[in-house]
Amino acid sequence: MTILVADDEELVRTVVVRLLQFLGHDVVEVDTGEAALVTLKERSDIELALLDEQMPGLRGSEVLSQMRAFLPTMPVLLSSGNVGVEANDSRALMLSKPYRLDTLESALAKVTELG
């Protein structure tokens, strides 16, 4: 599966990309919500988005809201270190930071089953 990872923190983004690659996924990475929207519009091969909720500019939930206009069914994982953040989308799940490989793998399986 090809997954878009949007996170403004380079170290976090690098670790997430490596975890996803270890799980056998192709990964496209960006560092802003705005870049995530552009990439999602330009690339038809992306099958899932993992969006950091705390990015400056467009937050992950704002990217999710805007992308629904052109990608209404793509599964999304919103990632946040803040307790109580909700995904508020039937095809999205919240992934609390920090998370381990098994937690990420489980969240990917769950979110791709949403329908």
pLDDT score of 83: 60
CATH code: domain 2-113 is: 3.40.50.2300
pLDDT score of 84: 59
H/E stretch holding 6 = strand 2-6
- Contact (CB, 8 A) for 32 and 59: no
pLDDT over 80 at 59, yes or no: yes
pLDDT score of 25: 98
Q: Higher model confidence: residue 44 or residue 82?
A: 44
pLDDT over 80 at 71, yes or no: yes
Question: How far, in Å, CA of 6 to CA of 8, rounded?
Answer: 7
Which spans in 1-115 are helix H?
A: 10-22, 33-42, 60-67, 101-113
